[in-house]
Structure 1
């Protein structure tokens, strides 16, 4: 199932292929659209259609579940990021993004300065892919929620997360569940979170940790909801 949502709803009468007179107004992005439109997911086409028909300013969230983006789909999405002036939520789940797709997303993700919720889950980013995503986080200072669960992240990727979140003063929730980070990596992240006054939730279950390991993390964050089961 794929979902793409806009404030006020998407105009279902927007055609999949736009009139030449409209797309000529935005030459480089229009050329990209014309070249790759046959390969685009309907959700991505909808975003481009809204842009070319001057309705993109109303888009506040993008949610795409269980649709294959891969490297090309990630690139087509990244091309439009700089135009998303009011986007507050981006949720990509099970899209086959992997490392190469993460690299494409990271080229412009940092321009979406309005983003408050960022979920990239079940996408096999690995440590290298999460490094690309984390390189954007310091530019997204309005972020309140981040989820990088189920991405095959290890201790190496945890280092990138730790380094990236320190400047996110508005962060309220972080989810790194179902990875391979281990006690050492999770505690390093928790140590950074400890100094964040707005934090309410830290989810780190299934990261090759014993119950004793989990308890040691909870002690670092006594006033934060911690889920490790």
Structure 2
């Protein structure tokens, strides 16, 4: 079953249906809602209900676990990103997001400059998809946590991650576990993390490294919690 949340305060009342006036509007988002409401997953319905009801402050987090977004779901997310002025958490886990989906999300993800926690995990971004996501990261300068775990990323993708995080001064945690990154790729990322004064936690377990490699990386980050094989 999927897990969902898009509310900043669980005690706030969420409208179950959109006011009639909204259905009379002809904005792009209103039309998008009307066209796809019947097939829209509950998480996205919640976002739209609050967005089109002018309750932007309600949308502080979007969490979608174990649900296939598909082309339509990804397109909808990309359309609403520029409207989300209070979003601090975006967690997308096991949603079937591949390279094509990452490209669509990246079109507007960089506009969410309030984002502090970005987790796109257990998808199939691959090196090309992670490149699209990483192109957005320099615009998200409030990021404290980034997770790209289990996305079929190799040394090539590690290069993209290294370049992207070098501009994230607020970064505290990075999770790239469960990929196919070799020692050389991990060390390159580590070389950037060493100079980040706020950084606290690095999870790189389950990559293409032996125990000796992992220990050598840990030694490069003596003041950081390192999780590895």
TM range (shorter): over 0.9
In the TM superposition, what is the alpha-carbon distance from 1:24 to its structure 2 partner? 4.4
Question: Shift in Å at residue 33 of structure 1?
Answer: 1.8
Please state how far the C-alpha of 1:206 moved relative to its aligned partner. 1.0
Note the 1:1-229 alignment, pairs <5 A.
Answer: 1-9=2-10, 11-15=13-17, 18-25=18-25, 27-229=27-229
CA distance in 2 between partners of 1:172 and 1:199 (Å): 4
Q: Deviation of residue 170 (structure 1)?
A: 0.3
- Please say if residues 6 and 61 of structure 1, whose CA atoms lie closer than 8 Å, have aligned partners that are also in contact: yes
Q: Residue 4 of structure 2: SS of its match in structure 1?
A: coil
Distance 2:82 2:35 in 1: 20
SS at 1:91's partner residue? strand
Question: Taking structure 2 as the reference length, what is the TM-score of the superposition?
Answer: 0.94
Q: Shift of residue 70 of structure 1?
A: 2.5
Q: Cα deviation per residue 1:44-65 (whole Å; 9 max; x = unaligned)?
A: 0110111111112222111111
> How far apart, CA to CA, are the structure 2 residues paired with 1:173 and 1:71?
30
Cα distance, 1:26 vs structure 2: 5.9
Instruction: Report the alpha carbon displacement of residue 37 of structure 1 after superposing the two structures with TM.
Output: 2.1
The answer for unaligned runs of 5 or more in structure 1 is: none
Is the 2:19–2:53 Cα contact (8 Å) retained in structure 1?
Answer: no
Q: Does the aligned pair in 1 maintain the 2:148–2:175 contact within 8 Å?
A: yes
- Contact kept, 8 Å, 2:15 with 2:50, in 1: the verdict is no
Q: Deviations over 1:101-136 (max 9, x none)?
A: 111111111011010000000011111111111010
SS in 1 for 2:152: coil
Alignment coverage as a number of residue pairs: 227
**Unmatched 5+ stretches in structure 2:** none
Cα distance, 1:100 vs structure 2: 1.3
Measured in 2, the distance between the counterparts of 1:163 and 1:24 equals 46
Q: Secondary structure, in 3 states, of the residue corresponding to 2:110?
A: helix
Q: Distance in 2 between matches of 1:105 and 1:87?
A: 15
How far off its partner does 1:225 sit? 0.7
Contact 2:175–2:202 (Cα < 8 Å) also in 1: yes
Cα RMSD (Å): 1.4
